[in-house]
């Protein structure tokens, strides 16, 4: 290697030592480690966010089920004060959201409003529309559920004369 003298100092060029910027080269180990650490941080962050959303969903689900059960018990208590309810079954309680389309389909909903609750007792074949704001029964009526045997007999009549 040639020696160079600058002023009174003598410097030798030694190519065996890495230059200070060699670690910035695209093939260096630094970039491999930096990309690996970044990838691991992204995966861990994503997993934490997903777990947080899952936990939030579970909490909301538990709260909505308990809220619905509390609402159902309150509605049954209020309607039970207005009329005698079937004791051997729990009703399906559904809020009315589109009363105009229901009025067109069935006259049972003629005086109903959006927000009223429909209580359906399948065993007793009874339906009740309850307005919780006014605490009144809007309508009470029977449910007609076609049985599977009568429906089959109507669609497949048997000729006894043959």
| pLDDT tens-digit readout, 85-135 | 988 899 999 999 999 999 999 999 999 999 999 999 999 999 999 999 999
| CB-based contacts of 147, cutoff 8 Å, min separation 6 | none
Whether pLDDT at 162 is above 50: no
Model confidence pTM above 0.75:
no
pLDDT-derived band at 12 (thresholds 50, 70, 90) equals low
Per-residue pLDDT at 44: 95
Interatomic CA distance for residues 116 and 104, integer angstroms: 17
Whether pLDDT at 155 is above 50: no
Interatomic CA distance for residues 42 and 57, integer angstroms: 22
Sign of the alpha-carbon dihedral angle for 103, 109, 113, 114: negative
Q: How many other CB atoms are found less than 10 A from the CB of residue 4?
A: 10
Structure-token match 């100092």, residue found: 9
Per-residue pLDDT at 22: 64
Q: Range with the lowest mean pLDDT among 47-56, 108-117, 151-160?
A: 151-160
Q: What percent of the chain has pLDDT over 70?
A: 73
Interatomic CA distance for residues 41 and 87, integer angstroms: 58
């Amino acid at each position: 290697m040639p020696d160079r003298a600058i002023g009174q100092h003598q410097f030798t060029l030694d190519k065996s030592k890495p230059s200070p910027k060699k670690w910035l080269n695209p093939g260096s180990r630094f970039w491999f480690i930096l990309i690996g650490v970044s990838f691991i941080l992204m995966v861990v962050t994503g997993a934490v966010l997903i777990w947080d959303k899952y936990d939030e969903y579970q909490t909301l689900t538990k709260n909505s089920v308990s809220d619905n059960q509390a609402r159902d018990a309150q509605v049954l208590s209020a309607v039970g004060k207005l009329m005698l309810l079937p004791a051997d079954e729990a009703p399906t309680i559904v809020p009315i959201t589109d009363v105009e389309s229901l009025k067109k389909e069935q006259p049972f909903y003629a005086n109903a409003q959006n927000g009223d609750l429909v209580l359906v007792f399948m065993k007793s074949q009874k339906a009740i529309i309850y307005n919780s704001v006014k605490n009144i029964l809007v309508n009470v009526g029977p449910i007609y559920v076609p049985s599977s045997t009568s429906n089959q007999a109507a669609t497949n009549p048997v000729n006894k004369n043959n």
